Chains A and B, each alone.
Chain A
Amino acid sequence: MAHLKRSFGIGLWFMFLTLPLVVVRVNTLSQEVQWRWSNLLWVGVGAFAIAWFWQFSINRRAAGRASTVADKPSLAQRLADDPVLSRRVLLGAAAVAIVFPWLVSTGQNFYHVNVMVSALIFVVLGLGLNITVGLAGLLDLGYIAFFAVGAYTYALLSKNFDLGFWTCLPLGGLMGMLFGVILGFPILRLRGDYLAIVTLGFGAITKIVLENWDTLFGGAAGLANIPRPELFGLLLDGRQKSVYSYYIVLALVALTIFVTNRLKNSRIGHAWMALREDEIASVAMGVDMARTKLSAYALGAFWAGLVGVVFAAHNNFINPDSFTFMDSAMVLAMVVLGGMGSILGVIIAALALKLLPEYLRAFAEYRMLVFGAVMVLMMIFRPQGLISDTRRKYDYDGADGANGEGDHGGK
């Protein structure tokens, strides 16, 4: 009953809050005021229902906190702990990914392949940022700048020096890394919050420079006619090009997963996570903060640069509009929603965030609204993300001292 009364109060409060914005609309041209009272009713009812549910969830969360001293192993953890099952799931997923273009593209229909290429590009971005934010805890709000570095590296090198895609691919990654080191060097000793605003600033600066320096970067008009990836000089038609791009980016995804996974459970990965958890304790335990942070920052930038090259090649055209703060926020959301540090989680979140809007265009208007709300709710109710990070278990056989080779954590 108390709940009900409280929810009722909250409903009224929200009706008050939304009153001017949701009800009144002033049309200054026709000098009319539109009163949309029905909206208010919806807000009231909606807020009432949500408030009720909210209290219920908060209570449950509080109760949950108190009782579970020992975390229950998550599904993902159990999966990771079972080598046979995880290997099977992995093989299944790989098989589906490989035959995907043949399942969905018939004749000239390669729309779905194209959409998937865009989504997979963001999977790589998400996994790259996962190293910086998820593993090392360095909040980077300008990550998309490194993506831009890779994209423009390829566009400019292919245009001015006639370099091919495969030459530029590693160069793009290295350029991203180089920028990561140059930018990271002075700023990485800043505190976490300062780092956020400074990286945001770098993201903004990158975009402004791309826009203003039009003799080199083509300005807002962008750079067009960027060559598609070549395949031994074969001429490919539209569909083949898309399928080819698909396999390239799929391979990149696989490589990213492989590398991230190897690093995550290594000496370096442990140092990243330790810094994320507690900087002071880490340095007191002998972790070199500057070097370790820089390596995470630069490695994250490397993947963005690498996949930037693929992005430019796949789209044929780039301009600064693809590299805005909203894009950085989108990649960050993938990492956060997926579960910081969790590879599987980030992949699922990236696919969901890129594919759902593509197939649910009807809801496009509400997409960003829901997206913002989900970010808040996720932090409150499931801060560990969709799939919480799994920890590897090391084998240890005390008796004969052999061990620790246990590679089964490796997915």
Chain B
Amino acid sequence: MQKTTLVKFLAALLVTALAVPALAADTIKLGVAGAHSGDLAAYGLPTKDAAEMVVAEINAKGGINGKKVELMIVDDQCKPEIATNVATKLVSEGVNIVIGHICSGATKAAIGIYKGAKIIAISPSATNPPLTKSGEYANFYRTIAADDDQALLAAAFATDTLKAKKIAILHDKGDYGKGFADFAKAAIEQGGKAKVVMYEGIQPGAMDYSAVIQKLRNEGADLLIFGGYHPEASKLLSLMNKKKIKVPFIGPDGLKGDGFLKIAGKDAEGVYATGPKDVSKLPLNTKAHADYKAKYGKEPGTFFDQAMAATVAALNAVKVAGGTDYDALTRALKTSLVDTTIGKIKFDAKGDAEGVGFSVYQVKNGAFVEVK
């Protein structure tokens, strides 16, 4: 009887494994990959919403070149090993173009699989510089500027506008935060206008950062650049305020959002953060935000604008190329200018969107305001 149990088990396994969704013919398959569950879901879900909105609108108008667009949404939880699995899933099921992934690490893990299958991926949020600048991933595009750009901006702002002389740089040891910190450090050292007096990683999620703050004061830093996300930033700020350490604080675009304002509360006041250029005045952007609010009853989350732009650009390329041929799509993405929520964009030779960039923002009265 043991045998039958085992056989049943294996049979069940097989049935599950074989239950591949029937391949619907004649649609354009648009993959959406990112973190939709887990800690980083807040960064991935807006992209899913954006893609759904764009595709719903296009399908309502009859699709592209007479074909409906079909979304294939997969969750990578921002984990590299899951990303490779969902990427093979997309490839296996015949995806034509992918919007994603969200995190740089997951993107790096997945992009090779798309490359092997000649599929283009456009990320709204993977800001790790080598993704485009190394030239290794010809099939990768993004609608957000790379980390080194914002780090350069942050460094210049610190030394030129705020005239800081002794700069402390902290980071959360993560891919994103440390990348930002490293580029800022290099830029400051190269600029020669200020000294980096402290450069250190902190343990994300730790209970207490008071030691590192004491050190900051001990080194006599007159400005702090932080590479990382909002929870650690607000914890640092809260402790700095309690210890009455008042130095300007500059963070990357990971801080520029409601998450940071919500959690840091009054500690956020006066904090600087770099972030994508203000595009909220663009008519397309205003419309997209209004539509979103009408549909979900709240403001869209992080990377929503970039995701809208990525989806629109992808589908525009399909339209211009007249199909989903890899070479034709590549040509279309690099030549055809398309109007999006982040402005009129096309992609440069390496895959970065031309015309997107960063500005510096400051928190004033509980909201980010662009510093002119």
Contact = CB atoms under 8 A, between A and B. Distances in A.
A212 B2 contact: no
B109 A321 contact: no
Contacts of A318: 80
B108 interface: yes
A96 B10 contact: yes
B175 A221 contact: yes
- Greatest chain B CB density within 10 A among A75, A78, A219 is at A219
A348 B79 CA distance: 24
Interface string B1-23: 11101110110011011101000
B89 to A, nearest CB: 4
A118 B85 contact: yes
Interface in A197-232: 208, 211-212, 214, 219-222, 224-225
25 contacts: A76-B2, A78-B2, A103-B17, A104-B14, A105-B92, A108-B94, A110-B88, A111-B93, A114-B89, A116-B17, A118-B81, A214-B178, A219-B173, A219-B175, A220-B174, A221-B179, A222-B175, A225-B112, A315-B81, A317-B105, A317-B108, A319-B175, A348-B9, A351-B13, A365-B37
A212 B201 contact: yes
Contacts of B136: 225
Contacts of B175: 219-222, 319
Given A212-B173, A364-B75, A110 B84 contact: no
Nearest to A204: B203
A322 interface: yes
B117 A221 contact: no
B128 interface: yes
A85 B3 contact: yes
B261 interface: yes
A212 B171 CA distance: 11
B84 A114 contact: yes
A92 B7 contact: yes
A237 interface: yes
B91 A103 contact: no
Contacts of B80: 222, 315, 317-319, 321-322
A329 B148 CA distance: 37
Given A75-B1, A238-B88, 7 more contacts: A28-B262, A28-B265, A109-B92, A114-B89, A317-B108, A322-B81, A355-B13
Interface in A92-119: 92-93, 96, 103-105, 108-112, 114-116, 118
Contacts of A224: 108-109
Contact of A89 (B3, B178, B203): B3
A72 interface: no
A79 interface: yes
Interface in A315-374: 315-319, 321-322, 348, 351, 355, 358-359, 361, 364-365
A79 B2 contact: yes
A106 to B, nearest CB: 8
B192 interface: no
A88 interface: yes
A228 to B, nearest CB: 10
A359 B85 contact: no
Nearest to B6: A89
A62 interface: no
Interface residues of B, number: 48
Contacts of B20: 109, 112
A70 interface: no
Interface in B262-310: 262, 265
B91 A108 contact: yes
B149 interface: no
A234 interface: no
B84 A316 contact: yes
B178 A220 contact: yes
Interface in A360-397: 361, 364-365
Nearest to B74: A361
Contacts of A311: 81
Contacts of B116: 237-238
Contacts of A78: 2
Contacts of A212: 173, 201
A69 to B, nearest CB: 24
A44 B75 CA distance: 33
A118 B81 CA distance: 8
Nearest to B90: A111
Contacts of B1: 75
Contacts of A28: 262, 265
A322 B104 CA distance: 15
A132 interface: no
B321 interface: no
Contacts of A316: 84, 109, 112
A29 interface: yes
